[in-house]
Each structure stands twice: as structure tokens, then as C-alpha cells.
Amino acid sequence: MSQEEAGPSVFGFGGVVRAATVVILLANLLALAIGVAPNLSTRLVQLGEGFWPGYGNELRNDPIEPDCDAAELERRSATCVSAAPAPSGDPFGGKDPFGGPAPAPSDPFAGKDPFAAPAPAPAPAPPSDPFGGKDPFAAPAPAPAPAPAGGDPFAGKDPFAAPAPAPSDPFAGGDPFAPAPAPSVSCDALRNLHQQCVEQHRVYGETLARITPSVQRYRAFEGLVADVAHFGFWKHTLVLVVLLGAASASSARMHVALRTPESRVEHVAAEVSQIATHLLWMASCLADWQVQRMSTAEVEDPALPPMFAAGFLVLAAMHIVHLLHPRPGLDGKPSITRVLMCVPLYAWMTLISGVWFLGVEHHWSGQAIYLHKFIAYPNIYLGIGLYVWAGMLLSETRLAQLAFDVITPWRVAPNILGWLVAVISAVPTAYSGASGIFVIATGKTVYGRLVDAGANRRMALGATAMSGSLGVVLRPCLVVVLIAVLNSQVTTDGLFGYGMMVFALTSTLYLLASLLASGQSEPRAPETSTTPASQRSLAAVTQLVPFLLIAVGVVLAYRVIFAIHVNEHTAQLVLPVGMLLLVAWDRLLRPGLAARTIATPLSHASRETSHHAGALLMVMAGSVGFGGVVERSEVMSLVPQDLGSPFLAMSLLVFVMVLVGMLMDALGAVILVSVTLAPLAYDNGIQPVHFWMMTLVAFELGYLTPPV
């Protein structure tokens, strides 16, 4: 990463830098607070339960007053009449009240005297009359006269009259034998309801009595923490950090480029490219805002496009001022190669994206759409700001110097010392996100101490670069987390598991290379100290002990207080706090200090954070849009989908990944590779975990290769 050297206060931009520094510092503090707020809220509820049993369920909110009237229920219960009990047994004794008299006992002789004389036989019946007593020779009776015409067919009755009433029911429709009807309200239920109401009022009164002023103050604080935990403006915060960080980097001319302008032509190329970049982004955001206004669908975050557009307009104006007021010393001889390399990486990617969206697709809002995709993972990119801040705070301590003071008294060979530095630095590299921040924070110390130990310039530069790259595969590196977020085919556990083996392999190979280069060391200055090496090394270890105790204390405090364990998801929340305490100890509390201050190192670290975070985030924003163009243009379809075998495909991809590592930061490169080369690797039978391990190692190799 190349940086232009210019004072941040040039052309009146000092106020911009100070404002950006303050806002980014506040954003980092806000991210820290919001990150621990859910765990802190849980702990506060548990603590409240310890002070006031039942706090979580009963005291966190005001109880709801019961809506029942206990006095009214008591009155109704007192006047309630219970139903008479139903008579037991059958009043008719099982007999039918409407049945006839009981039959007499049956007579086997049918009422006859079995001892009486037999009755005489009856006389024969006379013959029957076939004419039924009528005279068969009599004249027929005359037929009845027909009814006169026009008579009443209804026989004098009203056909429309209501039917005659049915005979009256002596029982008035009721069953004289049915039990008496039960009351409409159950007295038992009414009494139970009254008891429940009394109990509800009792609990309500007791709960109100328990909500003392101390409980109210405690739950107000606990509720505030719970509200912070539900913070809903992560994307807006990220937009502010990106724009203000970009303004800070622009004011100091510290955007990521391969070369620093040394001539006016190179200066003009760098500034014009950035002016065009910001104007393209601004136009795309305005077009996206117009599309959202015309849309009938509900817009999730309507304020984001105007925020982006306003920020890009300010950035374009800043670069116009830079264009008109070049920095002094631009008297070098320009070349085409250097002109191209002086254009910042984010400008190259954005210009290519703009040409595609406007010239090919005629899609004005295309770049803005990919800016929305960029801020879709605000926690990841805000975490970058926290990692950068932790790295800059590290540079304000004596940790790197003390670590060298432990080793250098033993006069280790320069090549072995370089290997030790790279291996030991792998852990802080992983914890700083492997974004180059560790090299920025400690590179000057590492390079200088290696040269003092006898390493030549090439060896010292190589070891310094390796000190910021070997840890890229170790937990909790942010690059690996971003890979897992963007690629569902892999997980962080799988990548970190293979990462340990890859780290062992690469560190061993680096040791072999260092041993082969043992003859390239410079003559070492003779030892001048008369103090034994062990005593000097022990003195440095003694000074490191407080730093170690503070680090362990911070880790334990987060575990006990917040139930937060340090891993790839929480490291960015723990590191800045630990670094702040280390700076406080080293620059304010350490015995023997001539000048005690923390404001100066904190201000310097925050200002450097705004520069570097802005530069890195702009590269990542450009990478997202450029990756989208590669995906939409289907340029990868020109590459044969079947490269013959996984071995041939891996060989080709290694070469391509080294080129990517030569030109881009790891975090930005991961975004680009995820949408372009990763699908090609999967289609050629390369397992995703193996592909990404190869990619990370190739990035490491690219860091050591020109033109970086």
C-alpha cells in the first residue's frame, strides 16, 4: 500500500480531518457499546434478580392494574341464591301414573265352576237374511237435489280466518314433573371469581410497593442498555464512517495506490481519476434516489442514497482543490506505467464499473445498487474500523520494542530473527484482521530492529511483510470471517481448522528459505553492553509482565461481566478496550515516566485510524461494484468451465491469486474473488475449503511481490 505524504491540514482541510477523527472515534466507541449491550443487558437482569427476587418478571415494567371490582363481586356473592337440591328417588315408585288398574290374577277355569253340570247345547241360529232386512222389490229412494248454483263453497266459513285456538294447556306448556330451573349465575363460580380478583389486587399492591425509587433508577438504566442493544442505524453509521474516513484519507492524500505521484502529470492523473470516481458515484446515487421516490414499494432506508450523494459531492470538491493546488516537490519525470500506478485502486475499480453501467447497460443506478450491497454487512466493515483503531493504539505502546528487547540480547542470526518475528507476529496479525494494520503499526520498529541486527534491506523488508501475512489463516482473522459470510460453502471452523496446518507449512517453508539466505546478512555491530544477555532479556520480560496481566484481565473481565469469549466474532469488541488500557498504562500510569499524558497518543491513534480506515473501506466499496461488473458482464464465461482437472485448475488459479494479492488488500480481494473465480474453482472439482486456503496463501505471496 502506497501513501502520499502530505500534511492533513493542507488547504484548510485540517478541520475536515479533525471532524472526521472525532466522528470516527465516536462511531468506534458506539460500536463497542452496542456490541456488548445485549450481553450487558442480560447480566443486568441477572443482577437485578439477585437484588430483588422476581425482578425479571415482575419489576422490569409497571404492573397492570386488575380491571375487576372486588367489592361488587363480594356483594353479588353475598346475595347469590343457590339452587334447591334435586329430589332424590322416583315419586311414583317406578309406576306409570297414567297406566290402568293392575290386572286381576288369572283364573285357570276362566270363571267357570269345574264341578257344575254341563250346560245344555244352544239352539241353532236362524238362517241369515241375504238382503240385510231390506225389501228387494221396493222402489229406489229418490236422489238428493243438487246444491243451488252460486252457493257458498266454504259452507259459510271464513277461509282467511285464523285457525281455531288449540285447547288450553292446563300446565301452561311446562313439564309439571321437571326439576326447578337452576339460577343463571353459579354461586360457586362467582365466589371463585371474587377470590381471584382479591388475589390479583393483592399481587398488584405488593408489586407496586416493591417498585421503590432504587428499583426505578436501576430499571431505567437497564432499559436504556436494552434499547441500545436494539440499535437500528448500523447502515447509517457505516455510511458516515466510510464518507468521513474517505474525506480524512483524501485530505492527507493517503488512498491506496501502487505508487505515489512524483510529477505533475501523475498528480493530475490521480486527482482527475478520483474526481471522476466521486461524480460517477454521486450521479448513480441520485438516480437510485429518484427510482426509489417513483417506486410504489416501501423503501427500507430512503436516507442512504442522499447521504452517499452529498458525501461524494464533498469528496469531489476536495479533490478539485487538490488538483488546483498540487503539493510541492512534483518535479519528477513521468512515465505511462507510473501514471497508471498512481491512480488509486478504488478509482480504477469504480471507473471501470461506471463505464460498464453507463456505456454498456445504460443503468445509471447500477453502482448505487452495489453500494447498498456493500453496506448490507455493516458489522463486518465497522469491525474493520475497530481493528484499525486497535492497531494504531498498538503503535502508541512499547510492546514491539520490548518484544525485540527480549530476543536481541541473544544475538540471534538475522535470518532466524526475521523468521521468529514473522511467526510471533502471526497472532497479533490475526487479531488485527490481517488487513495490513499490524505492518502499519509496527513495521517501522520491525524493519529498524532487523537492520540493526544485521539483516540486509531485502531480508528486513521481506520479514516485515511476512510479519503481517502469516497470521491470515489463524483464528480470529477477519478475512476468514468475511470469506465465510460471502460463501455459504465454507464455515469459519473448517477454514480455521485447515488454517493451523497451513500456518505450520508456510512457517516451515519460510524457515527453510531463511536458512538458505543466511549468507546474505550484513556485518553486525560489535556488542557494546557489558550486561549479560540473560539479564537484559529478563529485564525486558519484567516490563512486559504488566502488559500481559492487563491483557489477561481484560479477557477475563469480558468473560465474567459480559459472558463474551474472545473469538472471531467478538475480537473486534475486546481488542480496542485492551489496547486503550495498555496505552493508559504505558503512557500514563507506568512508573518512571517523565511526561504523563494519554490525550496525545489517543489523538494520534484516532487520526491515523480515520486515514487508514477510510482508505481501506473505499477499496472495499470499489471492489463490490467491480465484482458486480465482472459477474454481470459474464466475462468469466470466456474462461473454459472445464480446465481439464482440479490440479490444472488449481495451478492456474494460484497464478491469478498471486496477481490479485499483488494489487489489492486482502479484504477487498476476497470480495472480488467470491463473485468471480470461486464459482469457477467449484465447477472444476476443487473443494471450497482447499480453494480458499490456497487463495489466502497466494495473497501472502502476492504481498511480497512487486509492485507492492
SS3 per residue for 572-596? HHHHHHHHHHHHHHHHHHCCCCCCC
pLDDT of res. 508: 94
Give, in order, the Cα–Cα distances in Å from 72 to each of 190, 196, 201, 222.
Answer: 11, 13, 14, 40
Q: How far apart are CA 58 and CA 294, in angstroms?
A: 49
Mean pLDDT for 313-328 is 94
Burial tier of 176 (Cβ tally within 10 Å: 0-12, 13-18, 19+): exposed
Confidence band of 173 (pLDDT split at 50, 70, 90): low
C-beta separation of 308 from 240 below 8 A: no
How much of the chain, in percent, has pLDDT values that exceed 90?
A: 43
The type of residue at 419 is: W
pLDDT in tens, 452-487: 888 888 888 888 888 888 888 998 888 898 899 889
Q: How far apart are CA 476 and CA 29, in angstroms?
A: 21
Tell me the three state secondary structure of residue 619: helix
Strand-pair partners of 257: 2
Confidence band of 9 (pLDDT split at 50, 70, 90): very low
Mean pLDDT for 221-250 is 92
C-beta separation of 341 from 260 below 8 A: no
The DSSP result for 459-491, as a single string, is: HHHHHHHHTTTGGGGSTT-HHHHHHHHH-TT--
Residue 360 reports pLDDT greater than 70: yes
Instruction: Please choose, from the candidates 435, 470, 462, 430, the residue with its C-alpha nearest in 3D space to the C-alpha of residue 446.
Output: 462
The mean predicted confidence, pLDDT, of the chain is: 83
Instruction: Decide which of 103 and 281 is more confident.
Output: 281
Three cell numbers, residue 580? 486503550
Confidence band of 134 (pLDDT split at 50, 70, 90): low
Residue 582 reports pLDDT greater than 90: yes
pLDDT in tens, 257-291: 988 999 999 999 999 999 999 999 999 999 999 99
C-beta separation of 612 from 386 below 8 A: no
pLDDT in tens, 620-636: 899 889 888 988 888 87
Q: Domain residue spans in the chain?
A: 10-33+231-376, 55-78+186-228, 391-596
> Could you give the maximum distance between any two Cα atoms of the chain, in Å?
178
Mean pLDDT for 423-430 is 88
